[in-house]
Structure 1
């Protein structure tokens, strides 16, 4: 895990290391003052700087990046989740990142970046596909991973990040006040009545979070057996089956095979699955449409059916699905 200095020329006016250093000095002063007050008997209750658990996960944009990420990174490692509403793999990864951040209890925070609304940030981080996850510690960037990865791998990565922050920069994180959200809980709106398949859908989500892709697939199939038109189950099943297919792939080998065998339907189908999981939606669709052009019979049907399955992962209303459907129709008819 090698850091690099943050340089965001054109997005925010930084001297990133200088800003982070100043913020770190202030944080150290605040901690020293809190320790002094505690030693004098004034340390009852949470420190003035304690934050509620809800503050550990937040949205960030280009305008607030220096304040909300770079300066904060002098006090706590800031994990950056680059996502978009249309990105279905993001919808699998983001809730997991949020849960693990809250579990970390102030040792890290999570800043969510909507790439559609923050194109310059996406460009500055040189992001090729989403979801993409980085960290910023003391104004320095640490690339973490891209695409959906297993929960255990994320836990290990966050533990390593915390260790780097403590050992290299002396950053120990934020104090969390678990009692700060009582009022918010009381004023929360009542939940909607549970639907007939909510328990099964929840079981599928729990299985996904635990890395039990087979269990998630079966749970979604159980819903669809009783309610074939259930949109949430159809989408979840398509996503879970995609993740199960790529779970044990060797990405380098798959991409090398696809490059060497452009007419091999199996090689192109596998590479398209990896493209989609990595957030390269148009690449995945284009790869399979191009393969349909050069295949025939059962091979062509196999490629076409996989493309239709990937449409389910993204959703019929997505404009990229509409464009790909049109392109597919052109080569088929």
Structure 2
């Protein structure tokens, strides 16, 4: 990205005081997942995690997830207070089983961002791509689960009630310890992604396919990274407005489909493009069809939403 991302947006509410306004009901720890919450973290504590370490260049990409779930961005240092913040927030977030995400940025990786953030550690909460509040080291660590609960309530009030899949597995779990090492070119691609270098990641995956044409994981990686690259700098509100104002613009419709898939609104993305294909013959139809097929590959053929959409696509085409 050409500009350093900003965390401490003006107008963000200081959430630290929320913990003084309500007490957690007895019988369930603050921040615990409600009865019936989906997600393996709620059922198997310590396995899956919804906390991920990111580079500053990846910040805007992660914030796009806040169209579906609250996103907490933690900028931390190497001090004991930061370590306690990280541990407590990770536990509170993972207990929600995918109903919010914690993105962590090491202040050492971005001195400018750390200086902008001020006192460390600092957390900014995002909903629908916008900062809705922040809190820092002045909030006692033991009150952080209550703040997570308050943020979940704010999300519900604003109609953001989705879930996202685990972002990884916690270190030390049996499955994580037994995972095979990635092939060299896949490792190169993932390292490039960690640096926010999408072009290098795509090039590494493409090289993997050239060397092994049946490398389905590399093909999927290419599609996924291209999606991330296409959406890295988009203005969510502007994209949706353009699509609403220009229903016959295939590029506008495919852009909204991209951000819907990235935000977890898979069925909405598929339905939008199938509708476009039904009503637009010619080159635009083929452009939309190819784009839809690429999104199918990203979601995966085993996903029932893909199978259902393929049937609707066949009807639209024939």
Deviations 1:157-205 (A, max 9, x none): 89431882323x344899xxxxxxxxx97x99975765xx611111111
CA distance in 2, matches of 1:99, 1:170: 15
Scaled by the length of structure 2, what TM-score is found? 0.56
Confirm or deny that 1:133 pairs with 2:104: no
Give 2:123's match in structure 1, choosing from 142, 161, 176.
161
Alpha-carbon distance change, 330 to 100 in structure 1, aligned in 2, over 3 angstroms: farther
Confirm or deny that 1:105 pairs with 2:83: yes
Q: Match of 1:164, SS?
A: strand
> Would you identify which runs of 4 or more consecutive aligned residues in structure 1 move more than 6 Å?
4-7, 97-103, 151-158, 187-190
Give 1:18's match in structure 2, choosing from 5, 19, 23.
23
Q: Match of 2:85, SS?
A: coil
The answer to whether the Cα contact below 8 Å between 1:200 and 1:223 also exists between their aligned partners in 2 is yes
Give the match for residue 150 of structure 2: none
Give the match for residue 213 of structure 1: 198
RMSD: 4.6
- The structural deviation recorded for 1:228 is 2.1
Deviations 1:259-283 (A, max 9, x none): 0111221110111111111111111
Number of residue pairs the alignment of both structures matches:
223
Deviations 1:219-241 (A, max 9, x none): 11111111222122122111100
Give the match for residue 6 of structure 2: none
The answer to whether the Cα contact below 8 Å between 1:255 and 1:271 also exists between their aligned partners in 2 is yes
Gaps of 5+ in 2: 1-11, 26-30, 38-48, 53-60, 66-71, 125-133, 145-170
The answer to whether the Cα contact below 8 Å between 2:77 and 2:121 also exists between their aligned partners in 1 is no
Confirm or deny that 1:267 pairs with 2:252: yes
Q: Match of 1:317, SS?
A: coil
Give the match for residue 327 of structure 1: 312
Deviations 1:137-164 (A, max 9, x none): xxxxxxx9xxxxxx97998889431882
CA distance in 2, matches of 1:289, 1:202: 36
Q: Which has the larger radius of gyration?
A: 1
Gaps of 5+ in 1: 8-14, 21-58, 66-79, 84-88, 116-121, 123-131, 136-143, 145-150, 175-183
Q: Match of 1:323, SS?
A: helix
Q: Match of 2:214, SS?
A: coil
